Chains A and B, each alone.
Chain A
Amino acid sequence: MPPASLNITYSGRKGPMLGLALRTGLLTILTLGFYRFWAKTRLRRYYWSAIRPGGIPLEYVGDPLEKLLGFLVAVVFMAFYIGIVNLLLMYVSFALLNGNVAAYLLSFVGLAPIVFFAQYRARRYILARTRWRGIRFGLEPGAWGYAWRAMVHWGLAIVTLGLAWPLTTLWLEKYRISHTYYGDQVFVQGGRRGMLFGSMKHIYYPLGLSVIAGGMTAAFENPAWIAAFVLTVPWFVYGLAYWRADSFKRMTETKELGAMRFRTFPRPGKIVGIYALGWFLIYLVFTGLTLIAMGILLAAVGGAGFDIENPDQIEMMLAAGTPVLVFVYFVIFLGYRAMTHAWITLPIAAHFAEVTQILNAEDLHEITQRDRDEFAEAEGFAEALDVGAAI
């Protein structure tokens, strides 16, 4: 019988993650994107296995070939849709509106239901391939139900200029969670309608203050108001982290799995710190690389006796520069991705995992296995639309 409460330990480390992300990213570029199904699967295996509730790691059992197959399935259908729709939108936007922007907006609205549909299907695939203690998670079918609800709730959030976002978040989480299973046990998302509004307070306050301070600055030119206006920026940044931590806490602590409950104590300050440190390190690395590259360039130019007055040499330099530029582009792309994984995504996941506890786990052993969700399409649609999970 398991103990009454299970702590979650985290065993992921930045170094190995950086290496894995660099290796898989390089292979993806070398194979013109073909390896991305393997890359994503391998990163997920690492991220999942790092999270160990009660000391037993989660397991991601997705198969890259299955993802490739799902992608091919999605291409068969989506190629038609995307090709024709893009062309028609371009035509309509220029025939009626003489401009390009309209086409993008229209295509966004046209794609929205499919995006939500694809996100739900991707979640279903990911949960179906996630296990803990040998038991599968699962998400019941319901992608179209999710898509129209998401449209309504997002519409509400947009109409209210984002003020209703806490409501949107909670409603959609309720839909997703009430369709989520661990083995044969369904999850329940509790919480009253207004539950998440409090989590937004550090976003509402600085926004309100900035409106007042901005108006006062415009009217009176008092430096105190300008200072207040400037101060709302860091407050707003803190507010974003606070929202992330506090909404997670409120939603997690109202989740139920049978008799099980959850406790979590994420800290907004820690989240701000992780992002600040991560971005600082990335900045440092790129600055260092730039300095080294400049040094090499200067040495090469000096060694060749470069004559700035000679246009032929400039042209030669430019010709030689193109492959270098392509190389630099890939280095930046690859490096940024890998460093984001190692220094932001992973520490954030570590923080949320380590502050979370499972309570009342005595009856865990009564949960039984669920059938495998064969799911030929995998997350192909999300992949095709590029709206899949970040990892």
Chain B
Amino acid sequence: MTETQTRAAAFADFVAGERAVLTRVSVCLLAEGLELAQPDGQSVIWRWAELRAEPDQADKDALVISRSGDKVARLYLRDKNVKAQVRTRAPHLKKRDRAISVPKLVTWAGGAAASVAAIIFVLVPMMAAQLAVLLPPEGEKALGDTTFEQIRMALDETGLAGAAICEAPAGNAAMQAMYDRLNPASDLPYDIQIHILDHDMVNAFALPGGRIVFFRGLIEQAENPEEVAAVLAHEIGHVVNRDPTRDALRSAGSLGVLGLLFGDFAGGTIALFLANQLINASYSQSAEAVADDYAHELLDKAGVSPAALGTMFERLLAEHGDAEGIVAHFMSHPQMGERIAAAQAAVVEGQTYGSILEADAWRSLQTVCGGTSAVQSDQDLPDKKPWPGDD
């Protein structure tokens, strides 16, 4: 090129952005910046500090230069020497000039957050609560069938067949016997179906349409049949209050909104699922108290001490006291403590309470999944999930 660093010259394509005209300009490197001389003799100087390079360009041979403050003019530099000079001398080549004001962005972000929060935490739950009561029993059952299959599939690690249902007739008959003793039929538009799934989790939950699901882990962990009956009564409470139906409707609404927020950054499903779980756990806390109250009453009527629900919670609290993770955050200990206290307070003075199952029926319930005994389960406690505290 030329001899002096300051006046090294080359030609480059230039568009001013007024007409679709391509101009061949001569480019000179001056101390203060690039001088662009038009063929007609006019020239402008783009100062070094004003130069910006367009990023992510496919053509590595050309440097597309714009000038801060001028939105449309572009210089297409191909000359190696001049490109190198520009790269070393322009201090803000990679800076991006922001066109959007931060306050505006913050305002809309706030608006979006408020709108999403209002919909997920107020509007959708409110509508779900209303509609859950209106849904006809057949609709609820169809909803429950769908959810049940989905949950079974989700629990099975191989993802092929779904978690196995424990079929042992004696154990299931024992469970049914407990249900008959509790006898909540008058509160329900449909019969309750109880399933026991072969899974380690210490949990039980209710589904729409009167399905109640126990995990083997919970039955093995229980010390006596009354504790299982207490959990059963609690889940029946959820069914009576339509909590599962409300939950399903609500998650249909909130999942849609969350899908909107996350886009499909990773196929989406994982993040959606986790986020919805978070909302779920915090949402059902108030419903728990109602289900507890219902359980106390039902147990009392059936001649079983309501304190059984408390002892179940208590031992779980003692064993998984320092519960880890997100679940622990939402099932805060004070609340668990209150629930235990409430169960004990529900014991009616002077009432005598009996057992709900004969010893051999209890044994067949504990081995309903073909396992040997409850003793073994105590050894692998660390594997178990803490009691999630809700349906």
Contacts and interface: CB of A to CB of B under 8 A. Distances in A.
A183 B18 CA distance: 9
Given A12-B58, A83-B120, A98 B139 contact: yes
A33 B265 contact: yes
Q: Which 6 A-B pairs have the closest CB atoms?
A: A33-B265, A134-B15, A87-B253, A50-B58, A134-B17, A86-B256
Contacts of A100: 142, 146
30 contacts: A13-B58, A20-B56, A28-B265, A32-B271, A33-B264, A33-B271, A45-B57, A49-B56, A50-B59, A56-B15, A56-B76, A59-B64, A65-B105, A66-B99, A68-B105, A75-B112, A75-B116, A76-B111, A78-B260, A91-B134, A94-B139, A98-B142, A133-B22, A134-B74, A135-B20, A333-B267, A365-B21, A366-B19, A367-B19, A386-B264
A87 B131 contact: yes
Contacts of B54: 45, 49, 59
Interface string B216-237: 0000000000000000000000
Contacts, number: 211
A69 B142 contact: no
Contacts of B17: 134-135, 369
A2 B19 CA distance: 13
B124 to A, nearest CB: 5
Which bracket fits the contact residues of A?
Answer: 35 or more
A63 interface: yes
Contacts of B250: 87
Contact of B18 (A16, A63, A368, A386): A368
A321 B62 CA distance: 48
A347 to B, nearest CB: 13
Interface string A41-64: 011011101101011110101010
B345 interface: no
The winner among A43, A49, A183 for most chain B CB atoms within 10 A is A49
A46 B100 CA distance: 22
Interface of B: 13, 15-22, 54-59, 61-62, 64, 71-74, 76, 98-100, 104-105, 108-109, 111-112, 115-116, 119-120, 123-124, 127-128, 131, 134-136, 138-143, 146, 157, 248-250, 252-257, 259-267, 270-271, 383
Nearest to A366: B19
A82 B58 contact: no
B132 to A, nearest CB: 9
Contacts of B73: 134
Given A49-B54, A54-B22, A135-B20, 18 more contacts: A32-B271, A47-B58, A80-B119, A83-B120, A84-B123, A85-B256, A87-B127, A87-B128, A87-B250, A91-B131, A91-B135, A133-B20, A134-B16, A135-B15, A183-B19, A318-B157, A333-B266, A365-B21
Contacts of A366: 19-20
A48 to B, nearest CB: 8
Contacts of A333: 266-267
B58 A365 contact: no
Interface of A: 2, 11-13, 16, 20, 28-29, 32-33, 36, 42-43, 45-47, 49-50, 52, 54-57, 59, 61, 63, 65-66, 68-69, 72-73, 75-76, 78-80, 82-91, 94-96, 98-100, 131-136, 182-183, 315, 318-319, 326, 329-330, 333, 364-369, 372, 383-384, 386
A227 to B, nearest CB: 36
Contacts of B16: 134
A65 to B, nearest CB: 4
A28 B264 CA distance: 10
A2 B22 contact: yes
Given A63-B100, A82-B256, A33 B105 contact: no
The winner among B56, B57, B124, B128 for most chain A CB atoms within 10 A is B56
A68 B57 CA distance: 22
Contact of B58 (A46, A66, A134): A46
Contacts of A12: 58
B58 A330 contact: no
A330 B266 contact: yes
B265 A29 contact: yes
A86 B134 contact: no
